[in-house]
Structure 1
Amino acid sequence: MKKIISVGLITLFGMSSYLLADKKLDETELGLRKAPLNDENKVQLQNFIFGTGSAGESQKIERAYENAPPMIPHDIEGMTPITQEDNACLGCHSPKIAESIGATPLPKSHTYDLRNHKEITEGIAEQRYNCTQCHVPQAQTKPLVENNFKPDFRDEDKKHRSNLLDVINQGVQ
């Protein structure tokens, strides 16, 4: 019985390899950019337009799903590069300041050191200083492909707030 299954699988694999061998894709068909992958000369970058409002004047963008990193709804020109020593984001999004000026405060997950299991009382966890690793400005573009995904938030507050640290700690106690 094992020999019959083995022979059948080998035959199936051989036939599929033979049928697929004749169908070669042109390298312009492999991605969404429609240009050869090894030639940057024909690639034309779009002139993306980002949110034109300055920080504090822009409208918050609903998260893609619960606990997703929120998009940056304002221009970040002049705020980068972000380093551990110089992080312009903390000027508004630090939990001590954010509420008073109407900015989204950093969630508890950013002021907790997951490696050493301790809360950070001043600043943020050193793993979290590079804000643009997860949070990016939203360009005003047309989608390249249709997206029918609809997020399912457990409550309305999670569209603009994170409870990631609570979720991580569920069942740990």
Structure 2
Amino acid sequence: MKLVTKLGLGLAVTSFIVFIGCSKAQPTYSEESLGLRKDNLYNEDKVVPEETHYSKVAPSTGGKTFKRAFQDAPPMIPHDVEGMLPITINNNQCVSCHSPEVAPSLGALPYPNSHMINFRPDTSLAKDGKITKNGKEIDNTSSEKLANVSIKHLNKLSSARFNCTQCHAPQSKGELVGNTFQPDFTDKEGNKKSSWSGSKLTEGLNTLME
């Protein structure tokens, strides 16, 4: 009988403790506190974004270059781009200064060798359904065999690199969001220039099959 009484008392105490723990008020968070702006998530009528201030330094006068954010990161544009965008097939003012043959004389950075390489293999589909890549028949267009990797060196800018602003963008002075990212450069000058050339074009592509 005493054992039953002790067990009953123990269960009662345990239940009471669990009840107290569950009934403790839990902190609540409003929807407005979740975002970076700390404002109404459903109505932006009163939202005033930070004013954008792009560099007004003329391209011809150069400008302080930005350090790369990570190894082989596309460099940011340090000068004014007013009147230069959008880039079209008939108007690309970037290459007039950054092509390797004229960049040194203008004090501009020439686009690297990686921009003068065609990574797009010649792929075709025959009427019988056979797919050829660079003249070789393959099972499918997404073949990951190393033999199907196409690296063709050119003596001019590759058309795949023609739209410069796909990767390069001007920087704006404004309120920044906190960032604790620390780059780990594999090249001693990785924060200044690209090193992606030569053997590095396929180095580290461990998804390719022999």
Q: TM-score, normalised by structure 1?
A: 0.73
**Bigger share in strand:** 2
Verify the 8 A CA contact 2:97 2:103 in the aligned structure 1.
Answer: yes
Could you say if the C-alpha distance between residues 84 and 146 of structure 1 is closer, same or farther in structure 2, counting changes exceeding 3 Å? same
CA distance in 1, matches of 2:28, 2:110: 51
Indicate which of 72, 76, 80 corresponds to 1:75.
Answer: 80
Verify the 8 A CA contact 1:65 1:153 in the aligned structure 2.
Answer: no
Indicate which of 152, 156, 171 corresponds to 2:185.
Answer: 152
2:201 counterpart letter in structure 1: I
CA distance in 2, matches of 1:40, 1:30: 15
Which runs of structure 2 are paired with 1:13-162 in the superposition (5 Å)?
Answer: 26-55=30-59, 56-116=61-121, 117-122=151-156, 124-147=157-180, 149-156=182-189, 158-162=190-194
Q: TM-score, normalised by structure 2?
A: 0.61
CA distance in 1, matches of 2:109, 2:52: 25
CA distance in 2, matches of 1:76, 1:24: 46
Could you say if the C-alpha distance between residues 29 and 60 of structure 1 is closer, same or farther in structure 2, counting changes exceeding 3 Å? same
Verify the 8 A CA contact 1:51 1:58 in the aligned structure 2.
Answer: no
Runs of 5+ consecutive residues of structure 2 not aligned to the other structure: 1-25, 122-150, 206-210
Runs of 5+ consecutive residues of structure 1 not aligned to the other structure: 1-21
Give 1:127 shift.
1.6
Provide the identity percentage: 36
* CA shift digits 1:77-117 (9 cap, x unpaired): 11001123211110111111112211111111111111133
- Count of aligned residue pairs for this structure pair: 149
Verify the 8 A CA contact 1:61 1:70 in the aligned structure 2.
Answer: yes
Q: Which residue of 2 aligns with 1:10?
A: none
CA distance in 2, matches of 1:72, 1:91: 15
Coordinate RMSD, CA, aligned: 2.4
* CA shift digits 1:64-86 (9 cap, x unpaired): 11100111111111100112321
Q: Does 1:164 align with 2:168?
A: no
CA distance in 1, matches of 2:32, 2:201: 42
1:164 counterpart letter in structure 2: W
CA distance in 1, matches of 2:154, 2:45: 48
Give 1:40 shift.
3.3
Verify the 8 A CA contact 2:62 2:108 in the aligned structure 1.
Answer: no
1:39 counterpart letter in structure 2: N
**Bigger share in helix:** 1
Verify the 8 A CA contact 2:70 2:185 in the aligned structure 1.
Answer: yes
User: Any idea what SS the aligned residue of 2:172 has?
Assistant: coil
